[in-house]
């Protein structure tokens, strides 16, 4: 059985590194980190991804706009997208879940719990 392949998209290089280390070393997943939405749209269409972990607030193309692009492309329309947000209020979390169809993860997050949280969301 192959490891889940996750695209991690965040504009913060330190956070990308932490997310990738957590998913790969603790979760046994394959994680590819990208710095922004423009890269995501290209990369997501080029491969078989099991999920996208997507920052909400980024310069240029934000998370919800990235999601629109992914859903509009038949090659990526079915890829699960889990938002990662620093805005933890319930209204924002509910709005993001309505957009993606999946619960969001909050920043800051526990790197030791992240792989299990991600699996739990994807197993729904």
Structural domain span for residue 47: 5-122
85, 96 contact by CB (below 8 A): yes
Question: Which CATH number do you get for residue 59?
Answer: 3.40.50.2300
Q: For 59-111, what is each residue's pLDDT tens digit? A: 999 999 999 999 999 999 999 999 999 987 899 999 999 999 999 999 999 99
- The arithmetic mean of pLDDT across residues 12-32, rounded, is 97
pLDDT of residue 2: 83
Most confident among 41-50, 85-94, 112-121 (mean pLDDT)? 112-121
Give the H/E segment covering residue 106: strand 105-106
Q: Which residues contact 53 (CB under 8 A, 6 or more apart)?
A: 6, 7, 8, 9, 19, 23, 82, 84, 105, 118
Instruction: Report the predicted TM-score, pTM, of the whole model to 2 decimal places.
Output: 0.95
SS3 of residue 32 by DSSP: strand
Rg of the Cα trace of the chain? 13
pLDDT of residue 41: 87
**What's the pLDDT band for 44 if we cut at 50, 70, 90?**
very high
Structural domains of the chain, count: 1
């Amino acid at each position: 059985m192959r490891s889940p392949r996750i695209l991690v998209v965040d504009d913060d290089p330190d956070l990308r590194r932490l997310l990738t280390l957590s998913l790969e070393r603790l979760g046994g997943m394959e994680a590819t980190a990208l710095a922004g939405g423009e890269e995501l749209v290209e990369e997501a269409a080029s491969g078989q991804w099991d999920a996208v972990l997507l920052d909400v607030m980024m310069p240029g193309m934000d998370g919800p706009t990235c999601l629109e692009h992914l859903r509009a492309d038949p090659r990526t329309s079915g890829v699960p997208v889990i938002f990662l947000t620093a805005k933890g209020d319930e209204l924002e979390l509910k709005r993001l879940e309505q957009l993606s169809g999946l619960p969001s993860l909050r920043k800051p997050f526990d790197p030791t719990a992240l792989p299990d949280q991600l699996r739990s969301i994807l197993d729904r």
